[in-house]
Structure 1
Amino acid sequence: MSRAAAQVDALRRALARETEPSSDFDLNPETVLPPGRTLRPAGVLAGFLPGADGLDLLLTKRSPRLKHHPGQIAFPGGKQDEGDADPVAAALREAREEVGLDPAQVEILDTLPTHETVTGFRVTPVVALIRDPFAPVPEPGEVAEIFRVPFDHVMEPARYSVQYRRWRGQRRYYYTVPFGPYYIWGATARMLHALARRMGS
């Protein structure tokens, strides 16, 4: 069995395990969230594709000119629009728009439990395989860069650390999993950490 095939099998086993929803507030248990809050549905694509030594994860660096989260590392994806059947459809549509990924090249493995963000979204991470050949095309004005991270880097819980920043007058703790010049943190790192924990269970 090839390295990539073994990693796909490990992914499938991990996705079959039950876990709880996650949140940007997981590391800040003192935060009191309004019980009647309304969260907007969204979907992101955690897409793995063949690399030089096994699978790689496809990620983007957002344009520094964007109003929200400029320059941050993110999955392809976004909010669910009226025309989207569900968050999975939203993730696929956004991936086509942001990185030029044809949905026909995507094999969806499963979804992770939802993740609540500080910006009021309920995000569904869609874990999938991307079939070659795929030549990514960044969406002008929204995506500054498209890059890959090795499977073993993001699926190893020991590579994650907890850091904090001042946010609304308080310390906000979050996960990070840097890779070279890319500072992967916040919601993206938290969702990846949830998957990495499943892999290690």
Structure 2
Amino acid sequence: MDHSSEFYLMDSASYFFSEVQRIARTGYVPTETDVLRARQKSTGIVETRFNMGQLSIHMFDVGGQRSERKKWIHCFESVTSIIFCTALSEYDQVLLEEAGQNRMVESLVLFESVINSRWFLRTSIILFLNKIDVFKSKLPKVPLEKYFPEYTGGADINKAAKYILWRFMQANRARLSVYPQQVSFPCVFSFSFILLFSYSKGFAFVFAA
């Protein structure tokens, strides 16, 4: 996995490589961990409705890839809040669509297009910086400044996370309210994956990691 950043690989790739003999056995049945670490590419808009107590929720699974964004971004003009989730650990990885494009840079481009979109002028943003645990273990081995030369904080996890957060906040030209959080979701979340949840009061979640 020393050259994993040169290819489009999810963070869960090392897990599946280590489990390949078990997975290749006849009669293989996926474990809960296998399912959590697996991913299916999102295309178009897939809507799911479910109830949580007295709350009726609409969940929209939308593609984060470049070709998919134009299909959904105009559909959510009335939402009041968006949760945008992106992986801190993708700073050294490349896109599936374009091997020469850094995934963190592309996440910044997507965030900028969402937060400054005319469709979300009255929307507040909750920014989840995901995979802080993977980011922490990767940082000493893969310097952030190799991919973002202006960063000067070395392997300090707090300085590195604050720098990436600063890059995202700089994209907020529309001056919307942004509420950042650092989290460690399962490895299923990786770039080009967006979910939107919406209910009758107009709240929505966007996951793009």
TM bracket (short chain): under 0.3
Report the structure, 1 or 2, having the larger strand content. Answer: 1
What TM-score comes out, normalization by structure 1 length? 0.25
Which is richer in helix? 2
Q: Which has the larger radius of gyration?
A: 2
State the TM-score, normalized to the length of structure 2: 0.24
